[in-house]
Chain A
Amino acid sequence: MRIPCPHCGDRSHDEFSYGGAADRRRPTTADFGPEWLDYVYLRDNPAGLHRELWYHGSGCRCWLIVERNTLSHAITAVHAVLPASSPAMEDA
């Protein structure tokens, strides 16, 4: 599988680390319950289009959102989590 990185171009997937589904949101409640159980342990296993995070650790060191079809590995969209002008770094 090759991932077209918006900064580096087409690269083998072994330059990247998988970061899980892109649209999971951390629960806002502080109490452990079904929401946290779902967030921490349960994963969907979709057959078809999946929005997921990949980290290009051997390249531009940016987090990417990749839209991939889990049945065919066809990648339909890739974009950086942060806008291209912003490195993943907090302001001092």
Chain B
Amino acid sequence: MPDTALLPRSVLHDRLRPGRQGAATGPAGVVIREKTGLTLAAVAALRGRDGAVIAALTALFGVSPPTRLRLVRDEGLAVIGTGPGQWLIAVDPMPDGSRDLRHGDLTTTLRDRLGGLAAVTDQSDAWVVFDLAGARVRDLLARCVAIDLDPRRFEPGDVALTRAGPLDVRLWHGPKPGRYTLSCFRSYGAYLARWLTDSALPFGLELVETR
């Protein structure tokens, strides 16, 4: 349960200047936007309970959780495969920025449905999540992660758990082709943001202001 006495704040706040930066001709090659206000919960099936967990998640969300490193999306909700028998559930905030409560308190709802089948932990505010877009976004990612980013190999909907320099990161493509999402633990968020923005300057960067 998120602590309601604490106000979440962007890791970019007071650290990085928003706006158009770097190579100034033409449109920005890379647009970086931090996704704030997400509700996140991690689900790890107990040994041998994967099938039951998949059935319960399907019944709850109406989408079938991926059984490999893929993501499925439905109406502001993403179910992201993060390893064998493991998923991250991400619920987008409401248009006004508040938490989407359509599944009640997400972690509590999941624990109720998955009692005895899976370990459920609240991950809201534990990750920083950056949306990356623009014509040069793959050039930017190639400076950060050592995986094959060719869309024939890393297709829309694919998820990679890998490293960006010293950081463990999660990267997924799409579902919209050419749009990527990169996340890491929040305490490393300012570092990752600085690296991304510095790396993006030669391509022309638009850093979108977040709260």
Give the residues in chain A near B57, CB-CB below 8 Å. Answer: none
**Which of B45, B50, B119, B161 neighbours the largest number of chain A CB atoms within 10 Å of its CB?**
B161
Stretch of B27-35, B79-87, B130-138, B186-194 contacting A (4+ beta carbons < 8 Å): B79-87
- Please encode chain A, from 1 to 21, with 1 for each CB lying within 8 Å of some chain B CB and 0 for all others: 000000111111011000000
Closest to A2 in B: B146
If A59-B161, A60-B83, A92-B116 touch, whether A8 touches B69 (CB-CB below 8 Å) is: yes
Q: Which of B116-155 contact A (CB under 8 A)?
A: 116, 119, 146-148
* Bound CA span A15–B168, Å: 9
Asked if A11 and B84 sit within 8 Å, CB to CB, the answer is no
Which residue of chain A is the closest to B167 with respect to CB atoms? A58
Residues of B within 8 A of A84 (CB): 84
Q: In the complex, what's the smallest C-beta–C-beta distance from B123 to chain A, in angstroms? A: 15
Given contacts A9-B147, A58-B168, contact A87 B162 (CB under 8 A): no
Whether B47 and A91, one on each chain, are in contact in the complex, defined by CB atoms closer than 8 angstroms, is: yes
Q: Which of chain B's residues has its CB closest to A14's CB?
A: B163
Contacts of B51 in A (CB 8 A): 85
Query: Are B45's CB and A91's CB within 8 A?
Result: no
With A7-B68, A58-B168 in contact, is A86–B162 under 8 Å at CB?
no
B62-91 contact mask (Cβ, 8 Å, vs A): 1 or 0: 000000110000000000000111100000
Cβ of A89 within 8 Å of any chain B Cβ, yes or no, is yes
Is the Cβ of B46 less than 8 Å from the Cβ of A89? yes
Q: Is B95 an interface residue (CB 8 A)?
A: no
How many contacts between A and B, using CB within 8 angstroms?
70
Q: Is the interface of A mostly helix, strand, loop or mixed?
A: loop
Interface residues on A, range: 20 to 34
Using A12-B146, A60-B83, A85-B84 as known contacts, say yes or no to A90 and B162 having CB atoms under 8 A apart: no
Given A7-B68, A87-B86, A92-B116, A58:B163 Cβ within 8 A = yes
Is A66 an interface position by the 8 A CB rule? Answer: no
* Least Cβ–Cβ distance between A44 and chain B, in angstroms: 30
Cα–Cα, bound, A90→B162 (Å): 25
User: Which of A14, A15, A86 is packed against the most chain B CB atoms within 10 Å?
Assistant: A86
Given contacts A8-B69, A15-B162, contact A91 B48 (CB under 8 A): yes
Q: Does B182 contact A (CB under 8 A)?
A: no
Residue of B44, B85, B162 near A11 (CB, 8 A) is B162
Known: A58-B162, A89-B44. A7 touches B50 (CB 8 A): no
Asked if A62 and B84 sit within 8 Å, CB to CB, the answer is yes
B83 touching A86 by the CB < 8 A rule? no
B147 x A87 contact (CB < 8 A): no
B49: chain A residues within 8 A (beta carbon): 91
CB neighbours of B84 from chain A (8 A): 7, 60, 62, 80, 82, 84-87
The 10 A-B residue pairs whose C-beta atoms are closest, nearest first, are A87-B85, A60-B83, A59-B161, A58-B163, A85-B50, A58-B168, A91-B47, A86-B47, A91-B46, A84-B84
